[in-house]
Amino acid sequence: MEHTTLAHHLLLAGLLFVIGLTGVLIRRNLLVVYMCLELMLTAATLALVAFSRFNHLMDGAVLVFFVITVAAAEVAVGLALIVALFRQRGTVQSDALNSLHD
């Protein structure tokens, strides 16, 4: 992989991030929105690993380790919240969840 440079990895990470972002914006199912959020997080970790590799330093990779840990905890809580929401409202469509407006 002599020819793959830092910029290529960053480009991949950036595009992945943008795709996830678009998903967050257009999707209405909260679960899918949540998956898109996770995708954005993963894109960020990809950039971190790339920086870590090309700077010859381990710290970025260790940070990715923490990001994965936090993401796992976050997913558990977030899903529990979605389940609680589903129990109370009977739906996870974000369009139906606009009571904040009223």
Site for other proteins in 82-101 (CB under 8 A): 82-84, 86-88, 91-95, 97-101
- Taken as a whole, the chain contains a residue count of 102
* Least distance CB 35 / other proteins (angstroms): 5
Residue numbers 44-83 binding other proteins by CB under 8 A? 45-46, 49-50, 52-59, 61-62, 64-66, 68-77, 79-83
The greatest distance separating any two alpha carbons of the chain, rounded to the nearest whole angstrom, comes to: 58
Is residue 50 within 8 A of residue 61, CB to CB? The reply is: no
x/- letters, 26..45, toward other proteins (CB under 8 A) = xxxxxxxxxxx-xx--xx-x
Is residue 60 within 8 A of residue 49, CB to CB? The reply is: yes
